[in-house]
Each structure stands twice: as C-alpha cells, then as structure tokens.
Amino acid sequence: MKITELFERGEFVVSAEVGPPKGIHIEHLLEEAKTYLKGVTAVNVTDNQSSVMRLGSLATCKALKDEGLLPIYQLTCRDRNRIALQSDLLSAAMLGIDNVLALTGDHIKLGDHKGAKPVFDLDSVSLLHTICKLEAGEDLGGNKLVGEPPKFAKGAVVSPCSDSVDSQLAKMERKVRAGAEYFQTQAVYEPEKFIEFMEKAKQFGKPVQLGIVILKSAGMAKFMNDNVAGIHVPQDMIDELKADKEKAKAGITGVEIAARIIKECKPYCQGLHIMALGWESKVPSLLEQAGI
C-alpha cells in the first residue's frame, strides 16, 4: 500500500523510524517493531544513518514487509551513483516496496568510515526526478524499461524550524516540482515556528508529517542544538529534563514534552513521524498521551 492513498483519504498518517543493526541478525528489531509499532501506519528504515555502516535499508524493509508491516524505504545519495540508485529502486519495486523517502544523506565525516569516498552523484531533488523518470518507463540514460514501470509514493524531508524559513520553502518547492508527494520534517521543538511554516507551506498542497524525536536527556538536547541543523530545543525544555534526571532517564519527561508538541501542532499537519532512536518501546505511550 502507498501511504499517499491514505493521505488522499484524509487519514492522519503516523510513521516511526527504525535503524538496522551493524550486523545480520534483526530478530530483535522485528520483534520490537511488531510489539511497539502496532499503532503506526508505516515504518521508515534508515539508510546508513549518520554515515555509519549498517545492514541495508532495502533488506530490512523486505523483512518488515514479510512480518506484515508497511515499510518506507529511505534512500540516500551519499553512497551510490545514479546507476546504483536506479537499480535499487527497481529492486524495491520488484520486492513490493513502493514507499520511498528520498534523501541526500549525511556527509561521510559524521560516520565511522572516515576514509570512504562520498558519491553524491545525485541529490534529493534529482533523485525525486529520477524516480519520476523510472515511473514513466525510462532510465536517466534515456533507455526504455522492460515491462510495466514501477510506481512509488515519493517522500522528501523539510526543516520547518530552520533559521531560514524562505530557504526551506524554496527547497520544498523544488522537491514538489521534482515529484515529491509527501513530506516528513526534521524534529520539531518550537511549535510556533512549525505552525508559521505550515501556514506558508499550504501553497504546495502536499501532506506533511510532523517530525518528533523523544528527548532522552538535557545533554542530548544540547548536543542537537550544537550539531544538528534545523533543530533548536528551547531552554525551558532543557530545564524540564534537568529537573528530574531519573524521570528523564526513564523516558517519562521526553514523552510528555513530545506529546505536548504533537497536540499543539496536530491541527496544522497531516501526519506524524516519530524518530525513536532506540526508544521504540516509548511509542505506544507517546501516541496515547498525544491522543492519537
């Protein structure tokens, strides 16, 4: 099933993100997904997130699909040229994986293979264009595909709380023109900025899923403020995490903060995307507290 069909029906689409392990055994990942992500519509699978080598997103998507879950295949341009990207997209379609999130990808310097050569033959915009070309039955070399062409639900990302709103709107417009049908956002901690952004983004007529990361500690919040573009955790939230470290460590404070943000932003978006970062067990409580 394509999640775009759900958006078209007016459903509030909830997805959650999982990261494949650095190895071949994913029984634990599958069990956690089946146990804790029952309340979500789709499961995003990261693609060597933060440039750290892990089990492939495509293989993990297939394993999740075999367990009855709806995967979203995250595909980054960092590690593949246009030949490999197109080949992987055809492979995904052959396996019945038709939800894709197109990403440029984090730079190699962030990861665990500093000597690797980054590719970036395409970026997220040109990758979206590439998917549309394949859907039209032709590859980027102008060669016809054999048989029925693939069809995907094409997603992209946007950072609504970036310092430059106009720049993000311009990027969003380029992605829409390239074929993006839905958007997932970077983590949001400033609802007022998100709401302001969404009022302006309505012009594009595309569904947007609010991005949420559950804060684990004040240290995590400060790290994101210093190192992750497009994210700013306000000081009052950091103070709330500091106030009771045991409560924060147990995930209670982070879930409470996230639930408040979701409640405030929900009227302005068409879905929710949860980046649990290993805290998949907190997702049911988060959805309950957020009234979803």
CATH number of the domain residue 41 falls in: 3.20.20.220
Residues 19-68: tens digit of each pLDDT = 999 999 999 999 999 999 989 999 999 999 999 999 999 999 999 999 99
Task: Give the number of domains in the chain.
Answer: 1
Among 83-97, 124-138, 223-237, name the one with the lowest average pLDDT: 223-237
Within 10 Å of residue 26's Cβ, how many Cβ atoms? Answer: 18
Vertex 185, ends 277 and 70: CA angle to 5°? Answer: 65
Give this prediction's pTM. Answer: 0.95
Is pLDDT of 11 > 90? Answer: yes
Q: Which residue has the higher pLDDT, 25 or 110?
A: 25
Q: Which residues pair with 184 in a beta bridge?
A: 157, 209
Does residue 208 fall inside a structural domain?
yes
- pLDDT of 163 reads 81
Does residue 7 fall inside a structural domain?
yes
Does residue 280 fall inside a structural domain?
yes
Q: Name residue, tokens 């392990």.
A: 21
Does residue 243 fall inside a structural domain?
yes
- pLDDT of 228 reads 86
Does residue 74 fall inside a structural domain?
yes
Is pLDDT of 164 > 90? Answer: no
- The residue ranges of DSSP E strands in the chain, in sequence order, are 13-18, 42-45, 71-76, 99-103, 153-158, 182-187, 208-213, 271-275
Is pLDDT of 81 > 90? Answer: yes
Q: Which residue has the higher pLDDT, 37 or 229?
A: 37
Does residue 59 fall inside a structural domain?
yes
CA distance 255 to 241: 11
Average pLDDT, rounded, for the chain: 96
Is pLDDT of 201 > 90? Answer: yes
285-to-170, 252, 255 alpha-carbon distances in Å = 36, 9, 7
Is pLDDT of 106 > 90? Answer: no
Q: Give the structural domain span for 22.
A: 3-287
Is pLDDT of 227 > 90? Answer: no
Does residue 182 fall inside a structural domain?
yes
Is pLDDT of 86 > 90? Answer: yes
CA distance 74 to 85: 12
Spatial CA neighbour of 16 closest among 77, 74, 90, 103: 74
Does residue 292 fall inside a structural domain?
no
Show Cβ contacts of residue 48 under 8 Å, excluding neighbours closer than 6 positions: 54, 57, 76, 78, 79, 105, 111
CA distance 128 to 126: 5
- pLDDT of 229 reads 82
